Structure 1
Amino acid sequence: MATEPREHTRTYFLSLLARELEGRGVTATLRQSPPSLRVSDPEAALFSETVDCVPQADGWFYRWSWGDLVERVEDPSAAADRILRIFGGTAR
């Protein structure tokens, strides 16, 4: 079964965010089906969150597991900043 083009787009955007988070010392594991990131902070071992990305009328956005938008996919650095704030830390 072929992968939908939209799934490739999600995987691409999520890999950009994963790279940004990992550069800040956060673990980001890409899940394939459906594409999402399992994000956890090694310093707060019991806390983790899932982030995916979705198309909206005005572009693609990273999205929290509870449905709120994190940030536009064009700015993975800002998305990483926001995720780290939710984790109770600051950008490293």
Structure 2
Amino acid sequence: MREHTRTYFLGRLARELELRGLATSLRAEPPSLRVGGEQGSGLLTETVDCVALADGWFYRWSWGEVLASTADPAAAAEKVVRILSAREGP
């Protein structure tokens, strides 16, 4: 059941990211979302997963830092876009 919950939340984030022009790939085992720019965009690629904490479910960067609450996938998507855009360099 926990894996289904993660997949659900990651799917919601994927939709928001795709609306913003990012490519996504949902991995089933363990559930995670690979995010990057369209081919040739220059954006880096990052992995996001989902974790249950005391205050609810949260999206988390690959290095373990909490990204945002799953309650607002649009806000999480905006943060991913900002971070990946800032990391793309000159």
Q: Name the TM-score, length of structure 2 as normaliser.
A: 0.90
Aligned partner of 2:12 in structure 1 is 16
Aligned partner of 2:23 in structure 1 is 27
**Cα distance between partner residues in 1 of 2:78 and 2:66:** 14
Shift of 1:86: 0.6
Q: Name the TM-score, length of structure 1 as normaliser.
A: 0.88
Aligned equivalent of 1:67, options 45, 64, 72: 64
SS class of match (1:66): coil
Could you list the runs of 5+ residues in structure 2 that have no partner in the other structure? none
Shift of 1:24: 0.8
| Matching residue's letter, 2:74 | S
Could you list the runs of 5+ residues in structure 1 that have no partner in the other structure? none
RMSD: 1.0
Higher RCO (C-alpha 8 Å, min separation 6): 2
- What whole-Å deviation, never above 9, does each CA across 1:3-45 have from its counterpart, x for those lacking one? xx00000000000000000011100100000000000112125
SS class of match (2:51): strand
Count matched residues: 84
Aligned partner of 1:58 in structure 2 is 55
**Cα distance between partner residues in 2 of 1:44 and 1:53:** 26
| Matching residue's letter, 2:81 | L
| Matching residue's letter, 1:31 | R
